[in-house]
Structure 1
Amino acid sequence: MGDELYALDFDGVICDSCGESSLSALKASKIRWPMLFEEVTSELEEWIIDQMHVLRPVVETGYENLLLVRLLLEIRVPYLRQSSVADGLTIEAILEKWSELKPVIMKEWSEKSSDLIDLFGNVRDEWIDKDLSGWIDASRFYPGIADALRFASSRIYIVTTKQSRFADALLRKLAGVTIPSERIYGLGTGPKVEVLKKLQAMPEHQGLKLHFVEDRLITLKNVIKEPELDGWNLYLGRWGYNTEKEREEAESIPRVHLLDLSDFSSKLK
């Protein structure tokens, strides 16, 4: 085992799961709001899925995909609107203001994150049970990642807002990689900054070089705010779910290193 420790985000760093998460969110939205989605055409569904790929950089936790699906429906179908923000709302505005929009629509739609998290997980579980190969095929690992993980000399941890069981299933099925469950910190294990504190405090990690790879700039900025985490090397993956504007901002932050996919794979090996 090398003297490097890599804490890796999952979606947007290891796995491009946007196709699966968008389709799962659409399935879940039909269950959560059946009256709204009963007359949605296949053409409108395709438009929603296309826009979800554009909007993926704003998603921090999976359940937000359901909110985006419904918001896109309200943008496209005025008579279904039950929120105050949908009128005149553009895709660009969602990218810019999602942190402001999310609490407004959740309040206006009377939704709780815990309920949406449970529903989103249940829909994925049912899809896996009924069509495992279809669920797996809706995601892909970024080129070179599977081999890099399989032959990594560094100590690897997964730190993600994805539910651990889904990350584990994709690692096994797409990459043929088994990462011990105690090294996968998924949804419910606490904020990422707290997980990083926990990892650096473990006796077996003393003396290791610490690296954290993310695709969300805001997460890295939260790490920078914590003096206790000054020892971590921070990387923003160019290939992940981030925008050109975010990458330009990252270049102005001394702690954050912009990372290309090929360089990342070689670092793990």
Structure 2
Amino acid sequence: MGDLYALDFDGVICDSCGESSLSAMKAAKVRWPALFNGVDSTLENWVLDQMRIVRPVVETGYENLLLVRLLLEMRVPSIRKSSVGEGLTVEGILEKWSDLKPVIMEEWGEDRDGLIDLFAKVRDEWMDHDLKTWIGANRLYPGVPDALKFTSSTIYVVTTKQSRFADALLRELAGVTIPPERIFGLGSGPKVEVLKQLQKKHQGLKLHFLEDRLATLKNVIGEPELNGWNLYLGDWGYNTQKEREEAASISRIQILQLSDFSKKLK
């Protein structure tokens, strides 16, 4: 029996936090230019540092824009336009993001599709004008390129990133080309639905799903139809100590270390 691995991208294959935070900063300046009046490089660097801490809450890339703005509002009360900014901490964002996000979206008058389009446009322009720097703002986790190159398993990428960005990074950083029909990106539907498609298509293979978001793995557990999948939480990705401890208490989930990743893919 062969193995099929469905792999998340950001936080499993690629540490994209540097690039996504910089892209979000660029996009925020386009979307809310007045917000950045008087914002100097020291404050921008503080925001970028905090973005790495709050990165575990991000499910879809556009949320990075919201986090950039929320962090600025937390630091500069005079620009605050949301009711949640006062007294909010980075820890508070980590704990309450799912409650905070709809509130700030409404108070700022933003819509998801508009922010997704802007975030993609800014990334495309950066890639068009300076591909080398865009690529350089990302890094693949150690050992991952060789694991992907030499595996005998069937590999799919299942991500909320837009497929063209994942494809470009795999080619440029890993020298790996995964056929487009094996990359399920933003717009492919919920990950649980993608996994259902894959298990129908590949009956007879042993199924493995590797994620760095505990919430996504819990969604899979909530679907009885997906009981055949082996589930892994990558402890090197964008998750917190609290989430790793919770995952350790769930029998369906195995916590995987980066050093074991390439051995798993074999």
Coarse TM-score class (shorter-chain normalised): over 0.9
Of 238, 241, 245, the residue aligned with 1:248 is 245
TM-score normalised to structure 1 length: 0.98
2:49 alignment partner in structure 1: 50
Alignment of 1:163-174 (within 5 A): 163-174=162-173
* Cα displacement (A) at 1:39: 2.0
* Cα displacement (A) at 1:61: 0.2
1:236 aligns with 2:241: no
Partner letter of residue 265 of structure 2? L
| Contiguous gaps of at least 5 residues in structure 1 | none
2:224 alignment partner in structure 1: 227
1:147 alignment partner in structure 2: 146
Alignment of 1:100-179 (within 5 A): 100-179=99-178
Tell me the percent identity: 75
1:78 aligns with 2:77: yes
Counting matched residue pairs gives 266
* Cα displacement (A) at 1:264: 1.0
1:68 alignment partner in structure 2: 67
| Deviation per residue, 1:172-199 (Å, 9 max, x gap) | 0000000000000000000000000010
Counterpart contact for 1:10–1:159, Cα < 8 Å: yes
1:36 aligns with 2:35: yes
Partner letter of residue 167 of structure 1? A
Moved runs in structure 1, 4+ residues, more than 2 A?
none
Counterpart contact for 1:30–1:38, Cα < 8 Å: no
| Contiguous gaps of at least 5 residues in structure 2 | none
TM-score normalised to structure 2 length: 0.99
Of 206, 213, 218, the residue aligned with 1:216 is 213
* Cα displacement (A) at 1:38: 2.7
Aligned mates of 1:75, 1:38 — CA distance in 2: 16
Aligned mates of 2:97, 2:155 — CA distance in 1: 31
Aligned mates of 2:37, 2:136 — CA distance in 1: 27
| Deviation per residue, 1:184-217 (Å, 9 max, x gap) | 0000000000000010011xx1110000000000
